[in-house]
Structure 1
Amino acid sequence: MNGDVVGSSFTFGTMSAGSRITLLWLAVATALSISLLFPLFIVDVPPIEDYPNHLARFFILAHPDDPILSKMYAPHWAVLPNLGMDLVGAGLFRVVDPFIGGKVLLALSLLAPIAGVTLYHRIAFGCVSYWPLASGLVAYNATFFLGFMNFLLSIGIAFAGAAIWISLRRKDHPKLSAVTGAIAATVAFFTHIFGLVFLFLLIGSSELADLRRQHSSGELKSSAILTSGIAMMAAALPAVIIYSASPFGGAVTAEGEWPWLIKALRLLSPFAVTSAPLMIQSAGLFVIIIVLVWRHTDFAPGAWLVFGALAVAYVAVPFDIKGGSFVDARVAVIFAFMLFAALNPRLAPARGIIVTVAIVALIATRVAFISSGWSSARRDVADVRAAISNVEPGARVLAVTGSTEGRFWEPENWILPGFYRLYLHLPALLVVDRRAFWPLLFASPTQQPVSTLPPFDRISQMGEPVDWTRLANEPYSLEVLMRARYLVGWRANFDYVLVVDAHPETLQISGLVHVHDGPFAKLFQIVR
């Protein structure tokens, strides 16, 4: 190691110890990956909000000729910015069990940002470091629990693409960097539009930092500015063309308000778990860690521009943009990963040991808590699957939730405090387990490569299950029908009603016969 690199807890310089140090780093990286993946080994269906819905869509794409599902749904491949997981899932689910394949995809979305952060850090600082591995602290975050799999994959792709760009530009290969940048941008676009934007934020900030360095040293020439601009435009051109041709293109629509209290709460997005105390404690300890390392840290070129842009974006963005929700939470998660990618702490041994122990302990605590919660949630998933085992293939099932009034912190393993309930899409297991129809599949022609076929399209609508109480409140208000148009004539259009997160106070509605009466799920047959 270089003599000026103190605190080998996180940073290795030129690595004079060579292979021994490299093997130690690989051992730590492997141990981290296994630890983070452990919760996935103990469940079939983890409590992740959108995951069952994605699972159902991947299953449909993998079985386009299924004699039952093909009457309800059909692949609808188009130029869309959310195809990454669909392409992989459609192929994977042809050869493996969907519940195993689904966990493989979850593992990919969990580890991709860490891999991208590690590669970016390695290229930016030219050394192997343990610090980017500490990003495992925020691997389980709000966007992961909400099931934003394509988003997380795209962040890993953005970091990796930017790292390759920086490496080639340092070697003075502007043409090659433009080509690889165009490839990275295309891959990022087809994974998630957020990844594409973040990729060019990383690339642009690096280019500006390099030009500023040349200007400060008196070496800046107009040709350097021209080369940088042309390279970036060439890299962006394919993505711009694809975006323009996509149904996703067009005007940017923003929805929702800018509630400052919610904005403040969403700063905790990188640390979100199903326990408010642990979420707050994780964030607090992380702030202390950053304070400890801040004065002894190098920053990647252009890092301040990225941090500034993300901070402005966090304050400015609304809740929804072009159908994408929790936009501010996504920005907060990217910011957290950037702290591990663009910082390079150089700590004295004593401080390095303190920081190392704190991070390891916090990662272990969070993984243990998640594992325990997921293990407990298995009985609820088992109850849902037991309920839907009574549904015959091809049946139409209306899914609703138990009354949630005054119950914002229960059930314990299915609520992300301050964010969302995580069980709303569990009824999507009807598609995978029973090849039955439910009306809330993610099948928007501008976002997903699946379409709902007639006549089922008339009783389908992307969204969330309504509360059980809504069924008894006929005639329905316009506000309710805007969210759930399929409620019109539901007794004639559906065969069953599935209640998830059911409670003793669940209403009794005439014309429904109990088929399954479990503690978490209830199934009723509609008697016409």
Structure 2
Amino acid sequence: MNSAAADRPQEGQVDMSAQRGPSSRWLLTALALVVVLAIPLFLVDVPPILDYPNHLARYFVLAHPGDPVLSQMYLPRWGLIPNLGMDVLGAGLLRLTDVHVGGRILLAFSLFAPVAGVVVFSRGVFGEFSYWPLASGTLAFNGIFHLGFMNFLLGLGLAFAAAAGWIVLRRRGEALAAVAYAVVATPVLFFCHLFGVLVFALLIGADEIARLAASRHAGKLTAAEVTRTGILLAIAISPAVVLYLAAPLAAGAAAPAPIAGVGYKLWTLLTPFMTTNISLTLWTTVIVIGFLAIAWRGTRVSPGVWIALGILAMVYLMAPSEIKGGTFVDVRLGMIVGLLFFAGFRPSLSPRQALVAGVIFATLIGARTIYIAATWIDHRQTLAELRGAMAQIAPASRVMIAHGPRASGTYAERPEWALPGISRLDGQLSALMVIEQRASWPLLFADPAQQPMEVTAEFRSLSQSPGGPVDFAWLSDADAPAARLKQAPYLKSWRADFDAVLLIDPPALLPSTPEGLTPVHAAPFAVLYRIQH
């Protein structure tokens, strides 16, 4: 194993980055990767991705601020907040396209952004194009994508690409140009996602530390150089720091969730390889890690990658699952680690080894895509059942969402409904009623400190952002305990405040109907009840 500055591969070996410019064969490979990964997006209008329907509903409202029904319930509130990247794109795009066509275009951005960022970063740090970063298509359908963290994935891809620009300029000795570039890039990353700024700072900081360590090893390091580097880094990220301090998100003390157990931490390390199928997740992990182990002796590594991985490891061990309203923090860190395997490493193989590796990764990407496509096709049935129930909902209706009894937080009868060990994926699907029925949905992400939207005063007491469906059994209790009211304050007088209850994922044998509810429509995935006032 050698650093990025090491000698070229020995005679008879194929450097997986053989040309400074992309060859026609490389471009054809990249095009084929894009086509294959995009196939599932053509198979269903609303893919089974946790937060996607919720985000899509918000983009739809932002794109139609003058809608006579929706404007009574939700109001745009653009402000100085992070995580606006997809909102800006969505608000513009959904004015020009059908909502479900535009939504899948936005999903494509979040699907391809990390892969594109890896390719650009690898090109920047190694100076040449390589086939290995294209193998990161293996991670395109990952745990974070299934959770629907669209702004995060967009920011992650941009952060890798932006870090490549900094590294290239610094290696050319253009320090002032690098700082000017960063001063422009960091606000863009801030408004895409706060994690984008953190990843950018991690990557350029690690590269600068590696450069200083190399100078020290050569006996050329001075205190002035250390101070100068620190000043450059501080200036580079200062715009994002100023924006954060001015944003509403900075107000108040952070209340992190407890640190998860060892088992959960180990499982979330597989986030980059994760699908709704455990076996496919484990096989992907084994193949990627196994390939790197076999090709290790001929692998060159970007100087800052080991430092970045070390920092991520320390942070990962101490990271809570939630802080400052951001959820699945440790899961997100695992995703960054996975992308570094493809962005910061560059294997060199013999022609025969390269051919075998290409076939293996092409097969793996194809198998994962086929599995995703099959589950998304099956998801059409779920959508049809949900839409059948929602068709009975009148515009401006106030609908509460409940779920049936579940064996565990990630148990699901159908594979597309859950990410094993992480989360159910069907909790936000009923957000489609905002788009398709113009109904009030209590779980819309509409916190002005985090999203460019707020709920109107009339509907604010009926909303919980973020939140999830309530347990249907709770509706049989005459009085809701304080713990339940904290989770869903609108339970206090739900019979008087709501018009209907939508039960998703009911048991095969429906439970006894709570007092005041009348079944209107029943399907295996969704049952709609009218509330008798």
In the superposition, the TM-score normalised over structure 1's length comes to 0.96
Q: Which residue of 2 aligns with 1:496?
A: 500
Q: Which amino acid aligns with 2:234?
A: M
Q: Which residue of 1 aligns with 2:276?
A: 274
Preserved contact between residue 468 and residue 506 of structure 1 (Cα < 8 Å): no
Q: Which residue of 2 aligns with 1:243?
A: 244
Verify: 1:515 aligned to 2:516, yes or no: no
Preserved contact between residue 5 and residue 12 of structure 1 (Cα < 8 Å): no
Listed one character per residue, the Cα deviations across residues 419-459 of structure 1 (whole Å, up to 9, x for unaligned) are 11101001110100011101111111221111001120011
Q: Which residue of 1 aligns with 2:347?
A: 345
Q: Bigger CA drift: 170-179 or 350-359?
A: 350-359
Q: Would the alpha carbon gap of residues 502 and 372 (structure 1) be closer, same or farther in structure 2, given more than 3 Å must change?
A: same
Corresponding residue to 2:446 among 443, 447, 456: 443
Q: Which amino acid aligns with 2:440?
A: F
Query: How far 1:5 sits from its partner (Å)?
Result: 6.6
How far, CA to CA, are the matches of 1:7 and 1:431 in structure 2? 57
Verify: 1:13 aligned to 2:18, yes or no: yes
Q: Which residue of 2 aligns with 1:476?
A: 480
Query: How far 1:39 sits from its partner (Å)?
Result: 0.6
Listed one character per residue, the Cα deviations across residues 208-230 of structure 1 (whole Å, up to 9, x for unaligned) are 21222223233434543343222
1:93-108 equivalence runs, <5 A: 93-108=94-109
Query: How far 1:106 sits from its partner (Å)?
Result: 0.6
Corresponding residue to 1:466 among 433, 452, 470: 470
Verify: 1:454 aligned to 2:457, yes or no: yes
Q: Secondary structure at the match of 1:88?
A: helix
How far, CA to CA, are the matches of 2:13 and 2:68 in structure 1? 62
Query: How far 1:475 sits from its partner (Å)?
Result: 1.4
How far, CA to CA, are the matches of 1:386 and 1:360 in structure 2? 39
Preserved contact between residue 163 and residue 203 of structure 2 (Cα < 8 Å): yes
Q: Secondary structure at the match of 1:445?
A: coil
In structure 2, runs of 5+ residues without a counterpart are: 1-7
Q: Which residue of 2 aligns with 1:336?
A: 338
Q: Which amino acid aligns with 1:342?
A: G
1:65-464 equivalence runs, <5 A: 65-250=66-251, 251-405=253-407, 408-462=411-465, 463-464=467-468
How far, CA to CA, are the matches of 1:29 and 1:451 in structure 2? 41
Preserved contact between residue 9 and residue 298 of structure 2 (Cα < 8 Å): no
How far, CA to CA, are the matches of 2:477 and 2:355 in structure 1? 61
How far, CA to CA, are the matches of 2:237 and 2:227 in structure 1? 15
Preserved contact between residue 255 and residue 321 of structure 1 (Cα < 8 Å): yes
Query: How far 1:40 sits from its partner (Å)?
Result: 0.7
Query: How far 1:385 sits from its partner (Å)?
Result: 1.4
Preserved contact between residue 439 and residue 460 of structure 1 (Cα < 8 Å): yes
Q: Bigger CA drift: 176-185 or 212-221?
A: 212-221
How far, CA to CA, are the matches of 2:184 and 2:332 in structure 1? 24
Q: Would the alpha carbon gap of residues 3 and 207 (structure 1) be closer, same or farther in structure 2, given more than 3 Å must change?
A: closer
Corresponding residue pairs, total: 522
How far, CA to CA, are the matches of 1:151 and 1:182 in structure 2? 20
Q: Bigger CA drift: 259-268 or 249-258?
A: 249-258
How far, CA to CA, are the matches of 1:392 and 1:232 in structure 2? 55
How far, CA to CA, are the matches of 1:6 and 1:298 in structure 2? 17
Q: Which amino acid aligns with 1:498?
A: L
CA RMSD in angstroms, aligned pairs only: 1.6
Q: Secondary structure at the match of 1:505?
A: coil
Q: Secondary structure at the match of 2:186?
A: helix
How far, CA to CA, are the matches of 1:254 and 1:504 in structure 2? 38
Q: Secondary structure at the match of 1:237?
A: helix
Listed one character per residue, the Cα deviations across residues 183-213 of structure 1 (whole Å, up to 9, x for unaligned) are 2111111111111111011011111212222
How far, CA to CA, are the matches of 1:350 and 1:179 in structure 2? 45
- Residue identity (%): 42
How far, CA to CA, are the matches of 1:30 and 1:71 in structure 2? 45
How far, CA to CA, are the matches of 2:339 and 2:306 in structure 1? 14
In structure 1, runs of 5+ residues without a counterpart are: none
Query: How far 1:256 sits from its partner (Å)?
Result: 2.5
Q: Secondary structure at the match of 2:326?
A: coil
How far, CA to CA, are the matches of 1:14 and 1:223 in structure 2? 37
